[in-house]
Amino acid sequence: MDIVRGRGQKIGILGGTFDPVHNGHLSAALGVRKNLALDEVLLLPAARPPHKDGSPITSFGRRLTMLELAVAGLPGLSVCALEADRPGPSFTIDTLRALRQGNGPRLYFIIGLDAFADIHTWKEYDAILDEAHLVVLSRPGCLIPVEKYIADFFPAFSPADDGKSWQAEGVAGRIYVPVMNSHAVSSSVLRGAVAAGRDISALTPAAVAMYIEKNQLYQEPEGCGR
């Protein structure tokens, strides 16, 4: 797809392995779009996630197809296949730079709290906020609050006057921590349900469930290959 967007547009980026996509992904994308009044949210599957190096993952083409099936009919959500032909691991900073192309839309990179807790291990993590805003999705009952990670990894940032973001002098990007409901589902739970022969209609869109069944994906328990 054409990744170029107009200047001034607010574009959310929800990256991940999406192996497979589930209702939690879609709920997060739609929730952030509404909460931050974004023009669009792109779901961007990683071709070769660095944190899953050596672990078996479903082919990029199948994961992309499931995403396209999942967002069909959902206004404001699109799929971006930028990673399809890029060599090497899928580093976030490289992806954001490619999306911005130096002078493009305002980007809002969406990540979960688990990923944010490890962001200091990412390539050039401190440069991410030069390319985009960060949107961190927390969950009720988290033992370590988002604020603790912000203080540890982004010590120059402090609460902004809007009451919902953090900012630092001289840094273009902000850190947003929207309050939203979350779905208690993950891709690993969904894969486990498929392998166990359980109904997955409440976990992922019907079209994705049908694709998984038709192509006999995730039939074996974790660790047994796909």
Angle in degrees, 0-180, between the axes of helices 23-35 and 60-71, rounded to the nearest 10: 60
State residue 66's pLDDT score: 97
The model's pTM: 0.89
| Of 13, 11, 28, 1, the residue nearest 187 (C-alpha) | 28
Burial of 16 (C-beta count, 10 Å sphere; 0-12/13-18/19+): buried
What is the spatial distance between Cα 188 and Cα 113, in angstroms, rounded to a whole number? Answer: 17
Say if CB 104 and CB 5 are below 8 A apart. Answer: yes
Say if CB 187 and CB 17 are below 8 A apart. Answer: yes
Is 43 in a helix, a strand, or coil? strand
- Residue-wise pLDDT for 177-186, tens only, equals 987 777 778 8
State residue 135's pLDDT score: 97
Q: Which residues contact 219 (CB under 8 A, 6 or more apart)?
A: 194, 195, 226
State residue 180's pLDDT score: 76
State residue 100's pLDDT score: 79
Q: Which tokens is 9 given?
A: 């547009």
State residue 107's pLDDT score: 94
State residue 224's pLDDT score: 43
State residue 83's pLDDT score: 86
Edge-to-edge strand list for the sheet holding 40-45: 77-79, 40-45, 10-16, 106-112, 133-137, 175-176, 165-167, 158-159
Domain-wise residue ranges, the chain? 10-182
Q: Which residues contact 180 (CB under 8 A, 6 or more apart)?
A: 28, 31, 32, 35, 137
What is the spatial distance between Cα 208 and Cα 67, in angstroms, rounded to a whole number? Answer: 8
State residue 156's pLDDT score: 96
The CATH architecture that domain 10-182 belongs to is: 3-Layer(aba) Sandwich (3.40)
State residue 43's pLDDT score: 97
State residue 117's pLDDT score: 92
Peptide bond just before 20 cis, omega within 30 deg: yes
Residues of the chain falling short of pLDDT 50 = 1-4, 223-226
